[in-house]
Structure 1
Amino acid sequence: MRGVMRGYITAVDAVNYRMGRIAMYGIFVLMGILLWSSVSKTFFLPSLWTLEMAQFVMVGYYILGGPYSLQLGSNVRMDLLYGGWSPRRKAWVDLFTVLLLIFYLLVLLYGAISSTAYSLGYWKSEPISYLFGVITGSEEVGRLERSSSVWRPYMWPIKLVMIIGFTLMILQCLSEFCKDVLRLKGEEI
């Protein structure tokens, strides 16, 4: 069982490390969009797409970088208490709190799946089976949702990024859970 846990930890950490390193460069994309927005508003006609595109890039940056942040331990903790605890006590507290985080992320993932199904034109009550049907080709895509702004981009791509980000975050939380279990068994991670 320990070998399976270590293999899972290695695989998930590798995927989230690479994804996090790629997502880090999203800040430069965001800066470029905002720079163009400033230049176009000052010297030309204002671009209609810059504000909404900056929001989309920020969502991707934040959601895809979250698992990487959790992996590195750079997430916010209450160090006033947590910092002085023994490694074993930290592992017990992390073991409990990561379960609460997984529950929260599962709720967010279901909401993201429902929202993505809606943006693909599905208005019934089984969004998960619908998305699997779209992937396999057994379901048809309906009327695609668009933003209500003047630019009117399709909404499904950013909602798909949310599904991917929440899934990676859940996988990273399970990796952290396995790390805590191994720490409690006295193993080095």
Structure 2
Amino acid sequence: MKLWNTIEKAIDFIAEMMGRIGWLLIIYLMVFGVTDVFLRYVLNAPSLWISTSLQIAMVLLACVGGIYALNDNAFVKLDLFYANFSPKKKAVCDIITVVFTILFLGVLIWKGYQAAKMSVMLNQHTPTSIPLPIYPLKIFFPITGIIMLLVVIKKLVNDIRTLRS
């Protein structure tokens, strides 16, 4: 039990760090998004790299934001029925749906790893005037999939504990 509490705190810490990375990405997106608009429409001197880097940052934000939101139960749910369930009924529903989540994450990790490996082998870059590397982004997909899987397993264990109590 003490080991599990340590593991759970480690997963919470990792999810919190993903949230902080997301916070930094939001600041980056705001500052450079406004800068890009200013350069393009006020100075008539568009940037060659800002819009591409903003797209990459938005993808990263979706990855880290998903981990943080799942860990903090911040996803929007269809609470029409679920909100009125007892904690044990909620746990049963979560245990049933976790099968689909694990399948999805398994495919994401598997295919993400293959795509990342291929991207590194090909040394992929964006097809723009200033080529930015794509492989770091693709390497991040299976990593975030694994972290998300850890959060899902933590929630599954907590649901099983709820059923047993």
Determine if contact 1:5/1:178 at 8 Å carries over to the other structure. Answer: no
Residue equivalent to 1:154? 133
SS of the residue corresponding to residue 76 of structure 2 reads coil
Alignment TM-score, normalising by the size of structure 2: 0.92
Q: Does 1:182 align with 2:161?
A: yes
Residue equivalent to 1:101? 101
Partners of 2:159 and 2:23 lie apart in 1 by 27
Residue equivalent to 1:130? none
Give the alignment's Cα RMSD to 1 decimal. 1.5
Give the aligned residue type for 1:85. Answer: F
Of Structure 1 and Structure 2, the greater helix share is in: 2
After TM superposition, the structure 1 stretch with the greater mean CA deviation from structure 2, 105-114 or 19-28, is: 19-28
- Pairs within 5 Å for 1:87-166: 87-121=87-121, 143-166=122-145
* Number of aligned residues: 164
Determine if contact 1:37/1:46 at 8 Å carries over to the other structure. Answer: yes
Give deviations 1:75-126, integer Å, cap 9, x for gaps: 12110011111110000111121221111011011121111111111xxxxx
Residue equivalent to 1:32? 31
Residue equivalent to 1:77? 77
Pair 67,158 (structure 1): closer, same or farther in 2 beyond 3 Å? same
Give the aligned residue type for 2:22. Answer: A
Identity %: 26
Partners of 2:116 and 2:105 lie apart in 1 by 16
Partners of 2:112 and 2:52 lie apart in 1 by 19
Partners of 1:113 and 1:4 lie apart in 2 by 30
